[in-house]
Structure 1
Amino acid sequence: MNVKSYKLRIAFELLRSTLPVVIFVAVYAFSYFAYCHHYHIQGMEVHPSELLYKSLRLFVVEGEIDEPRVSGFLNVMRFVAPLTTVMGAIAAFTVLLGRRFKDLRLTTLADHVVICGLGRKGNSLARQFRAQGKKVVVIDIDESNEYFSIQMLSNIWTIAGNAADPEILAKANLSTADCLVIATGSDSTNINILIHAANQVKARKHHDPLHVVLHMYDSAICPLMRNKQVLMSIRQRVNLVTVNMYELAARQLFLNDMLDNMPTDIQSKQRMHVAIAGFGNMGQAIALQTAKTGHFASAAPWEMGGDRNNQTPKPLLKPLITIIDENAEKAGKEFTNRFSQFVDLCEINTIEGDIHDPAVYNHFVDLLKNETYLSSIFICYEDDYYNIKNGLSIIDRLKQQYERKKFLESIDIFVELSESEGLYHLLEEENAETALARQLKGFMAVPDLFYTDEGNNAGYEIMGRVFAASYEEQFDLPDGIKKPGWDNLSFRLQDSNMQAAHHIGVKLRTLGYQAVPSVDGIFLSDKKGGPFFPDPGIQLPITDEEREILAVMEHNRWLAEIKLEGYTYSSSKDPNSRKHPCCVPWERLDEKNKVKDLAQIDIIPVALLNAGFIPMKMVLANLYQNLDSRHKLLFEDLAIGLLNGGAALVEKAKQCKINDFLGKTQSKEILLISGVSDESQFDQKAKEKLTSVLSNFAGVVISGRISAGIQQHICSITDNLRKQNRKMYVLLGYLPQKLSSDNLDSRYDRLIKTQGVEFSELESIQCWLDIVLAGFEPSQVKYVCFKSEDDGFDFQLSKELGANVEILN
């Protein structure tokens, strides 16, 4: 509903509720004046109270005017007043009938969403579902709740009452509902509602099990409620998902915007700094997520290269969390008492007061000026407008420091918003317009509750399944698990694998990679729907040291996860007392368990490919983003072929077009010529330079995006060198399939045609794909172009792949 229609509906509802009162007062006043006029004509004086009484009697249908002669004005009011009474009765009857009709319509609803609890989150969820076209019913105990009128105006059914009362809950017609969201302010009330809901859907027929989302405010109780052994009788009747909305919102936030907004490597001296203004439930969830995901290459306990045995271990660069709150010190202590090992993972700094206070801000900005900190700011107060206001204020103040402290421009400021409309869309539009506004980002305090079933998280679940299946294949089954398979794992183990999948992006960024969604979606799949493991395996093309750095990051991530669950070190594992022998830093971990972390790094590309993502170097990903869909598909094959073992996988679907010609030369090098479509640029000097290059080369010569005239020059030069028996060449050309036959030179050993109409990026991508599938390394390729088009696709691709680039200008 847009703002204009929303205001119109408010005005209409206000008019409808006040109009009967206004009409009654007006008719009563006119009746009074009618009597005054009547007695004035008669020359009689009557006490005002008597006039008021007589005026009131007019509203009674059987009331009579005991006057011998009645004035015209009074005669009119004699009919208008009782008519007003009749109209009021009809209006009241209509309201009562409307309520009965509404109750009747509720009994006929189907596939609707029921939300119990109409607080800030419940209101936002209701409007989200309504915006998706779903029918929504909300139940709240407080009918005076400010959100009640908002829901009524948004065509959302409202039920006033305690949802924990079975009779109230029954009005929502759960037997035909699609989803039930339980999000009142009390965990015990939420559980009671769940029990009553399960009882009411026992006889649910012709419908799938009711999907129930149970929100638990206490993040410590939430994992216990997720245990499949808990509430087993209820799980048999409903499809239960237990969430902590704050935790889920923080997790989704960090997936969309990683803390390392500038990727860090092992040499980095920068430290992650997270400032949280407003340390309520949302702020605490962000702190926990920082501890779980803030593990970067800079935390590796050694310097890059050299003899590690003679190195003094580096100090651990733990993330720094600054809490800004009116009761920051108290809130920080209560938080660390609940999560006693949090201080092992993050350092906490507290600032008492509100971030809007100049004194508090000045104290806070001193931390931001530290160039060794990579800072992010999260503003998590309960008021959307207040969050935006503070975010803009911080940007305005930081702007004054930009000229002296350029790094301040990289600070991201996140503001909590309860709805995806209004201010949220305003920020998105601003982010696209100005560099300054890009620092300010909105994030949803209410997460996508179906994130676990649909959208992006479906991919992360597939990755988690790959990690679990790979572990079961290489190592023993986890403790307490009797059968292999994802569905046999406890929720804790499933979630642990999911969190490992969430951290893949951080690991990839460490080495300059990123996961790019495939145009076709899932790249690898098994007929049974399970993970697919190609043979031979596929791995990232990284060094052993880089591989170990990523393994350290994974161990630190897992270590944070179990420490926050209360685990401590013991020489033997005991889940009941939360003891684990791997609860130690990487350098103290035995080799047997280090292998498990290394194996998880090895399987990352396979996990990504199963989920429809392709690992690419960031520079290649930038080139990829600017291609159309047809070009992207071919580029994806190239990116996979560049992975260790990837060429074999691609070759099963794609046949290399140049293998047959490589046996004609003993050269282990390729000369790739491209970069000129205008023959006027190919002057005598350029021709001489090309002749010199070819004279000093023997092997496979490939021409790419060049004009027919220059192709002829290449053929003439190589032909002359062949006749002199000085050089052995294999001459290949790449050109569009629909190019005119006049552009074809018969002296090529082979002309390889792409699916294009005219020269485009396709020729370069297909050429490089064939080179990779033929077993050549990019470093074995010399790329020659005739002009220094640094932004040209062919030039950039060859350069970023690692070819030896030479410009004949």
Structure 2
Amino acid sequence: MKTPFAAFRLRIAFIFLAVAAFVLGYVGMRTYLVSRPEFARSPLDIVYYDLQLFVLDPIPFDGMTPLPWTLELARFIAPAVTIYALIEAARLMLTTEIRRIRAREARRHAVICGEGPMARGLVEKLRAAGRDVVVVTSTPVTVLDDPRVLQVVGDARTPAVLRAAGVGRAEVLYACEQDSSTNTGIALAAHRVRRSAAGPLAAYVLISDPDLCAALRARRLGVVDPPGIRLDFFNLDELAARVLLDRDPVDECLPVTLVGLDGFGSALLVGLARRWRLRSPQSQPRLPVTVIDADADATLSVIRRRCEFIDSVLDLTTVHPRLLDSGEHAPADVPQRVYVCYRDEDLALKTALTTLRLWTRSPRSLVIRVERQGMFDQAFQGVSLLEDLAGLLRVFAVTEEAGDPRLIAEDLIEQLARTIHENYVYGCLTSGESPETNDSLVAWPKLPESLKKANRSQAQDIGRKLKAVGAVLASRVDPGLGFAFTEAEIERLAAMEHRRWMDERAADGWTHGPSRDTVRKLHPDMEDWARLHESAKEKDRNVVRHLPAVLAMAGFQIVRMEGAAPEVPRSFL
């Protein structure tokens, strides 16, 4: 296969030959026509005869007069150029058609709808993992210089375009356009294509507004996935904040400065609070956090309503940016981290590089949020074209860091399962347990897969339980709208939880036994609810009682629908 550079050089060579053939043909034709007075010899006539060399039919050649060497050479070069052009055109047409067929007939591949940095990042990561990729763009742009990446041009909200991308046989779809409604429309079109397909298509929809993303995810929990598609929504800022804290956790009770409470800044603040909450809650002091934002008080008021625990784990101080610029505010202690989180990339860079008080007191790192990898991160951290403040400055690209297929695949159920585990860890630590006495008190990534599976199963069943009592899940925007299960509902849902647990264990081979035996898979609680011991029933009741708090930790709340009767979950799409 020719490399792109080799193909380019070949095209340049034939262009040169075409020009040479034309020039030689013109000179030779002018000389030749001196001996053929019956033909016109004006410059335009000569050009006309010259161009006929490229189609093998020059009129003046009807005679037997010897040809000048220039014309003799041109009469062979010109047709060769024409033949090459015809072959190249046929090849391009055939290649385009073959690629269309390959895209339409592809199997178990990934379909990416979009042409921005998010789409390009996904293409690169999926190709690096060896996945086949078909990209759908509205214009014929080059998303990645990789001939193995197939492209379909058209509106991805049109089922016919998605069929051309092979969505009927695809394994996963990413809707990555900038507009959230466009991405949702792509998911609807994919559902229409996959309605009769065998096996579900995992469809992940990018929602730029975190509140809207949470609201849409809440609407997915209480419904059964429609045939052919498994839908979920994701927000880059939330994923990016988690990546940053996983990679560089805040482990010491030293000050943290957070500049900007845009989507990423708010997600980072909540993430800091959730993680600090799990660090020895009985003795751990509050983590001091200074928030610098023009609307810090108003934004924090919203965050406090949604995350009521935040003031119990963080010691928050708000500062207006103008006080920092004027020198009226000087932090008492050196911060261990400074996060510049403005959504405006230029403003973030300007703030980090011109607000000297952020870095003259030598924090351990100064992290700047940018939208995507670009010139600045290369200049500071790649080729070191610019000085990085002695290693202090770090550029964190949200699109590249969070646009990871593995992260995006962690859907709402995975998020709730994590929160269920975190709530369990917090309860155990509060009651005096420790990782030395309970080996389940570890971070989610270190939790055994069997326990992760149990948490996922419990999270999956939340929607069914809420439906059973005429309630729904909503994003946590109005905690004042109180909710509490009645005693009768607790009893009913606890019985449902026990049955779910029994079915899960039975599927894994567990049966009833007088005492728990993990080797023989025996458990004394493998009994019907009516015969279950009261202490075991209380465990299931506590699962139900703690459900509102668990959902609140994940950013959701339960809303009772007045007059709504319990119903079988219906399809969302």
User: What is the TM-score normalised by the length of structure 2?
Assistant: 0.62
**Offset from partner CA, 1:754-795 (integer Å, 9 cap, x none):** xxxxxxxxxxxxxxxxxxxxxxxxxxxxxxxxxxxxxxxxxx
1:28 equivalent among 17, 22, 25: 22
Counterpart amino acid of 2:23? A
Distance 2:68 2:81 in 1: 20
Mapping 1:619-768, distance limit 5 Å: none
SS in 2 for 1:371: coil
Distance 2:117 2:327 in 1: 31
1:142 equivalent among 139, 142, 148: 139
Q: CA deviation at 1:261?
A: 5.5
Distance 2:420 2:46 in 1: 85
**Offset from partner CA, 1:453-482 (integer Å, 9 cap, x none):** 679x999876544467x6xxxxxxxxxxxx
1:187 equivalent among 170, 174, 180: 180
Distance 1:62 1:411 in 2: 74
- Residues 110, 400 of structure 1: CA spacing in aligned structure 2 closer, same or farther, 3 A cutoff? closer
Q: CA deviation at 1:371?
A: 2.4
Distance 2:415 2:243 in 1: 12
Q: In the alignment, is the contact (CA less than 8 A) between 1:339 and 1:564 conserved in 2?
A: no
Counterpart amino acid of 2:406? F
Q: In the alignment, is the contact (CA less than 8 A) between 1:9 and 1:153 conserved in 2?
A: no
1:530 equivalent in structure 2: 454
2:241 equivalent in structure 1: 250
- Residues 333, 84 of structure 1: CA spacing in aligned structure 2 closer, same or farther, 3 A cutoff? farther
Q: CA deviation at 1:436?
A: 3.4
2:372 equivalent in structure 1: 418
Q: CA deviation at 1:163?
A: 0.5
Q: In the alignment, is the contact (CA less than 8 A) between 1:212 and 1:240 conserved in 2?
A: yes
Q: In the alignment, is the contact (CA less than 8 A) between 2:218 and 2:475 conserved in 1?
A: no
Counterpart amino acid of 2:135? V
2:407 equivalent in structure 1: 451
2:268 equivalent among 273, 289, 293: 289
Q: In the alignment, is the contact (CA less than 8 A) between 1:182 and 1:190 conserved in 2?
A: yes
Mapping 1:467-506, distance limit 5 Å: none
Q: In the alignment, is the contact (CA less than 8 A) between 1:213 and 1:449 conserved in 2?
A: no
Mapping 1:359-398, distance limit 5 Å: 363=325, 370-371=332-333, 375-378=337-340
Q: CA deviation at 1:129?
A: 0.8
Q: CA deviation at 1:195?
A: 1.2
Q: CA deviation at 1:24?
A: 3.0
Mapping 1:68-147, distance limit 5 Å: 69=65, 70-143=67-140
- Residues 244, 462 of structure 1: CA spacing in aligned structure 2 closer, same or farther, 3 A cutoff? closer
Q: What percent identity do the matched residue pairs reach?
A: 14
Residue 529 of structure 2 corresponds to residue 573 of structure 1:
no
Distance 1:563 1:336 in 2: 20
Q: CA deviation at 1:175?
A: 2.1
Q: CA deviation at 1:74?
A: 0.9
Distance 1:132 1:93 in 2: 33
1:749 equivalent in structure 2: none
2:253 equivalent in structure 1: 263
Distance 1:399 1:245 in 2: 26
2:394 equivalent among 430, 440, 456: 440
Q: CA deviation at 1:409?
A: 3.9
Distance 1:524 1:234 in 2: 24
Q: In the alignment, is the contact (CA less than 8 A) between 2:207 and 2:213 conserved in 1?
A: yes
Distance 2:87 2:290 in 1: 67
Mapping 1:792-807, distance limit 5 Å: none
1:59 equivalent among 42, 54, 58: 54
- Residues 375, 524 of structure 1: CA spacing in aligned structure 2 closer, same or farther, 3 A cutoff? closer
Q: In the alignment, is the contact (CA less than 8 A) between 1:379 and 1:387 conserved in 2?
A: no
- Residues 454, 244 of structure 1: CA spacing in aligned structure 2 closer, same or farther, 3 A cutoff? closer
**Offset from partner CA, 1:141-173 (integer Å, 9 cap, x none):** 122xxxx32424363111121111111111111
1:218 equivalent among 209, 223, 228: 209
SS in 1 for 2:119: helix
SS in 1 for 2:340: strand
Q: CA deviation at 1:368?
A: 6.7
1:241 equivalent in structure 2: 232
Q: CA deviation at 1:12?
A: 4.2
- Residues 153, 13 of structure 1: CA spacing in aligned structure 2 closer, same or farther, 3 A cutoff? farther
SS in 2 for 1:149: coil
SS in 1 for 2:407: coil
Q: CA deviation at 1:275?
A: 1.8
Counterpart amino acid of 2:151? T
Q: CA deviation at 1:399?
A: 11
Q: CA deviation at 1:92?
A: 0.8
Query: Which structure would you say has the larger RCO, counting Cα contacts within 8 Å and 6 or more residues apart?
Result: 2
Q: CA deviation at 1:134?
A: 0.8
- Residues 292, 72 of structure 1: CA spacing in aligned structure 2 closer, same or farther, 3 A cutoff? closer
SS in 2 for 1:104: helix
2:146 equivalent in structure 1: 153
Residue 178 of structure 2 corresponds to residue 198 of structure 1:
no
Q: CA deviation at 1:103?
A: 1.2
Counterpart amino acid of 1:130? R
Distance 1:36 1:139 in 2: 53
Distance 2:331 2:340 in 1: 17
Counterpart amino acid of 1:94? R
Distance 1:256 1:458 in 2: 23
- Residues 366, 19 of structure 1: CA spacing in aligned structure 2 closer, same or farther, 3 A cutoff? farther
Distance 1:114 1:47 in 2: 59
Q: Please, what is the CA RMSD of the aligned residues?
A: 5.5
- Residues 459, 64 of structure 1: CA spacing in aligned structure 2 closer, same or farther, 3 A cutoff? same
Distance 1:217 1:22 in 2: 50
Q: In the alignment, is the contact (CA less than 8 A) between 1:391 and 1:415 conserved in 2?
A: no
- Residues 185, 517 of structure 1: CA spacing in aligned structure 2 closer, same or farther, 3 A cutoff? closer
Distance 1:529 1:126 in 2: 30
Q: In the alignment, is the contact (CA less than 8 A) between 2:352 and 2:358 conserved in 1?
A: no
**Offset from partner CA, 1:723-749 (integer Å, 9 cap, x none):** xxxxxxxxxxxxxxxxxxxxxxxxxxx
Distance 1:87 1:190 in 2: 43
Q: CA deviation at 1:128?
A: 1.0
Q: In the alignment, is the contact (CA less than 8 A) between 1:140 and 1:159 conserved in 2?
A: yes
Q: CA deviation at 1:127?
A: 0.8
**Offset from partner CA, 1:345-392 (integer Å, 9 cap, x none):** 76655548xxxxxxx9x8288757542655413366677xx7998799
Counterpart amino acid of 1:194? A
Q: In the alignment, is the contact (CA less than 8 A) between 1:391 and 1:440 conserved in 2?
A: no
2:43 equivalent among 48, 54, 67: 48
Q: CA deviation at 1:426?
A: 8.9
**Offset from partner CA, 1:58-109 (integer Å, 9 cap, x none):** 2223333256522232123223223322221121111111111111222332
Counterpart amino acid of 2:246? L
Distance 1:372 1:12 in 2: 57
2:511 equivalent in structure 1: none
Distance 2:350 2:45 in 1: 62
Residue 258 of structure 2 corresponds to residue 274 of structure 1:
yes
Distance 1:185 1:137 in 2: 19
